[in-house]
């Protein structure tokens, strides 16, 4: 037999990164953020808020470093770079690259600063610094605070347009900073900032979700009317969230086809970016050529884990959890029928007993599946995101008062604690949760909570920085049982046919819309746009 081809040689070299700043800064004073890139390990100063990471790059690669004040600080007028250094060479051995950026303390309390290292549109590493802004009458204390960053080596899955979103919170206001990068003919590498929002962010977004759900109910399930109302909601978001120059840039890129397969990279936990409706900002009325971000194949990813380019799907390694609720009021007829049949036929999926203990046992077994599909009731409230739950089957028990149904809930916080999804071979599975509101995120006590972060393993500082699942799909707003399966059925069909995740999501939304399903924009996809399934052993 012919000799096996030699494994390709990895010509990349490891680069170490560190960021540090004073642990405490007096209000109104400037603080220096120092970012170091080195071919050798880096020691950070004692008494500093610090973070470390590492990545691999090839000789000749050009990189950029961006510092973004998220809360407590703003860009200093004394620093003309506004936190950005571009077109940097990689550090040579024993010649570290040291960059200093100046920020000004603007609000007392806990402060957060993000530091991103990129190669073009590819994220190499994200580091987060946690510091404190104290009263101008106090003297900054000394003492070490380490905030080691996850190692996030960006997957080289192919070129796509990226939109990074940083939420900045100061003085009771919310502002978004956007970094838009496109390497196509209309190439863009620019930063934009939204106008400060005077309303509470959670209340604003909850109102948008309520509008969406009310629009569906008010349309009497007439999809044309519902879609028009979605356009109204998404158009207001487009004009209200993006500054005029960014609107023009996005519209130009959309018309040139350069927003296909866009990756939104963010830990912004609230806004349904899929519903943002892009249209000609110069037109006095709707141009008739506008598109939702979701129609463009938008995929999301979260800071804190590297995306994957491929998920191996092997025979006998697909599972599903579909409860058969004892109370007829909770019955999901379509899930128990057509959706279950589809999973068995198309994926060869095997049932997992929809009980709490059995599901936890599955999640605890390292790399025990390649696809996991839930179809059940679920709820996630942005105000109480750690209570996000999937409703399992539970059991009927006999009591002195007769039969009683004891419900069982699978909490996102439980998934985050117990799930060990990454296989020994490095394979990270696809998880689809076909239930209402499970795709939504919110701030929990530390970082982000919700099923997306729980399954992806992206919570900062947990040691799961390489990720649990490789992709997650969930619903952003409530969906009914009957229309909720068309999107996921087409998504599976497209992925199994070799399409990328972005292509599959576009086709699935189109098929669901043409079938008159009001859920065609309800799903959010966390994955690299170029992710593919690899079928076989």
DSSP letters of 446-515? SSEESHHHHHHT--TTSS-TT-S-SEEEEESS---SGGGSHHHHHHHHHHHTT--HHHHHHHHHHHHHHT
Same domain, 288 and 313: no
Structure tokens at 230: 């979605």
Same domain, 287 and 322: no
Residue 225, classed as helix, strand or coil, is helix
Rounded Cα–Cα distance for residues 119 and 65 (Å): 9
Residue 400 inside a domain? The answer is no
Taking the CA atoms of the chain, what radius of gyration do you get in angstroms?
A: 24
Same domain, 263 and 374: no
- 144 pLDDT exceeds 50? no
Same domain, 386 and 356: yes
> Using 50, 70 and 90 to split pLDDT, how confident is the model at 360?
very high
Host domain of residue 498: 307-394+405-535
Same domain, 456 and 511: yes
Q: Are strands 109-119 and 402-406 parallel, antiparallel or unpaired?
A: unpaired
> Using 50, 70 and 90 to split pLDDT, how confident is the model at 227?
confident
Same domain, 20 and 128: yes
Same domain, 356 and 467: yes
Mean pLDDT of 513-528: 87
pTM of the model: 0.81
Higher local confidence (pLDDT), 190 or 285: 190
Candidate ranges 119-123, 257-261, 382-386, 427-431; pick with highest mean pLDDT: 427-431
**Beta-carbon count within 10 A of 386 CB:** 17
Q: What are the pLDDT digits (tens) for 19-74?
A: 999 999 999 999 999 999 999 888 877 678 999 888 888 888 999 999 999 999 99
Residue-level length of the chain? 537
**Beta-carbon count within 10 A of 363 CB:** 23
Same domain, 343 and 484: yes
Q: What are the pLDDT digits (tens) for 259-293?
A: 988 999 887 667 889 999 999 999 887 788 899 99
Residue 147 inside a domain? The answer is no
Same domain, 485 and 380: yes
Q: What is the CATH number of the domain that holds 22?
A: 2.60.40.10
Cβ proximity of 61 and 14 under 8 Å = no
Residue 269 inside a domain? The answer is yes
Total tally of structural domains belonging to the chain:
3
Residue 165 inside a domain? The answer is yes
Residue 422 inside a domain? The answer is yes
Q: What percent of the chain has pLDDT over 90?
A: 46
Instruction: For residue 195, give the DSSP letter.
Output: P
Same domain, 318 and 263: no
Rounded Cα–Cα distance for residues 51 and 223 (Å): 49
Residue 522 inside a domain? The answer is yes
Same domain, 335 and 420: yes
- 489 pLDDT exceeds 60? yes
Same domain, 457 and 318: yes
User: What's the pLDDT score for residue 20?
Assistant: 92
User: What's the pLDDT score for residue 6?
Assistant: 59
Q: What is the CATH number of the domain that holds 413?
A: 3.40.50.1460
Residue 178 inside a domain? The answer is yes
Average pLDDT along the chain? 85
Residue 302 inside a domain? The answer is no
258, 277, 296 - which closes a domain: 296
The residue among 485, 221, 263 whose CA lies nearest residue 376 is 485
296, 324, 349 - which closes a domain: 296
105, 136, 167 - which closes a domain: 136
Which residue shows structure tokens 């024993």?
94
The residue among 275, 273, 195 whose CA lies nearest residue 240 is 195
Rounded Cα–Cα distance for residues 266 and 178 (Å): 10
Partners of 56 in the β-ladder: 14
What's the half-sphere exposure (Cβ side, CA atoms, 13 Å) at 233? Answer: 26
Rounded Cα–Cα distance for residues 323 and 375 (Å): 8
Rounded Cα–Cα distance for residues 44 and 98 (Å): 12
Q: Are strands 389-391 and 448-449 parallel, antiparallel or unpaired?
A: unpaired
Cβ proximity of 269 and 442 under 8 Å = yes
Q: How far is CA 88 from CA 85, 105, 533, in A?
A: 7, 28, 35
Dihedral in degrees, nearest 10, Cα atoms 370, 389, 163, 124: -50
């Amino acid at each position: 037999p012919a000799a096996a081809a030699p494994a390709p040689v990895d010509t990349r070299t490891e680069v170490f990164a560190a960021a540090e700043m004073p642990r405490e800064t007096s209000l109104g004073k400037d603080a220096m953020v120092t970012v170091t890139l080195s071919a050798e390990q880096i020691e950070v100063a004692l008494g500093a808020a610090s973070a470390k990471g590492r990545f691999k790059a090839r000789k000749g690669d050009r990189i950029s470093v961006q510092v973004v004040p998220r809360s407590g600080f703003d860009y200093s007028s004394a620093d003309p770079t506004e936190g950005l250094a571009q077109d940097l060479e990689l550090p040579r051995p024993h010649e570290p690259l040291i960059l200093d950026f100046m920020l000004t303390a603007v609000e007392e309390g806990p402060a957060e600063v993000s530091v991103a290292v990129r190669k073009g549109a590819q994220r190499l590493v994200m580091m987060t610094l946690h510091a404190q802004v104290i009263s101008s009458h106090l003297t900054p204390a000394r003492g070490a605070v380490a905030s080691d960053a996850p190692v996030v080596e960006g997957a080289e899955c192919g070129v796509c347009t990226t939109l990074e979103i940083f939420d900045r919170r100061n003085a009771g206001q919310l502002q978004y900073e956007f970094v838009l990068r496109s390497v196509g003919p209309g190439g863009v590498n620019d930063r934009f900032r939204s106008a400060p929002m005077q309303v509470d962010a959670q209340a604003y977004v909850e109102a948008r979700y309520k509008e969406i759900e009310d629009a569906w109910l008010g349309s009497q399930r007439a999809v044309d009317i519902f879609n028009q109302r979605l356009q109204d909601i998404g158009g207001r978001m487009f004009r209200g969230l993006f500054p005029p120059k960014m609107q023009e840039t996005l519209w130009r890129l959309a018309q040139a086809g350069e927003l296909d397969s866009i990756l939104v990279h963010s830990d912004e936990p609230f806004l349904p970016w899929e519903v943002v409706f892009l249209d000609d900002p110069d037109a006095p009325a709707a141009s008739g050529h506008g598109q939702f971000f979701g129609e463009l194949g938008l995929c999301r990813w979260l800071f804190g884990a590297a995306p994957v380019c491929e998920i191996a799907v092997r025979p006998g390694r697909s599972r599903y959890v579909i409860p058969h609720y004892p109370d007829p009021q909770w019955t999901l007829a379509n899930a128990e029928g057509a959706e279950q049949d589809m999973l068995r036929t198309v994926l060869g999926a095997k049932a997992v007993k929809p009980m709490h203990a059995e599901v936890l046992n599955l999640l605890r077994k390292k790399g025990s599946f390649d696809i996991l599909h839930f179809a059940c009731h679920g709820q996630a409230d942005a105000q109480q995101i750690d209570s996000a739950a999937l409703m399992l089957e539970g059991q009927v028990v006999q009591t002195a008062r007769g039969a009683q149904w004891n419900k069982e809930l699978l909490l996102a916080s439980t998934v985050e604690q117990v799930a060990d999804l990454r296989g020994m071979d490095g394979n990270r599975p696809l998880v689809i949760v076909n239930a209402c509101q499970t795709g939504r995120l919110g701030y929990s006590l530390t970082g982000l909570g919700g099923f997306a972060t729980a399954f992806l393993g992206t919570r900062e500082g947990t040691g799961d920085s390489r990720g649990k699942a490789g992709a997650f799909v969930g619903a952003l707003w409530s969906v009914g049982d009957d229309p909720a399966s068309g999107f996921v059925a087409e998504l599976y069909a497209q992925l199994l046919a070799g399409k990328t995740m972005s292509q599959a999501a576009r086709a699935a939304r189109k098929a669901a819309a043409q079938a008159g399903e009001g859920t065609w924009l309800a799903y959010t996809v966390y994955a690299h746009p170029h992710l593919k399934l690899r079928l076989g052993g």
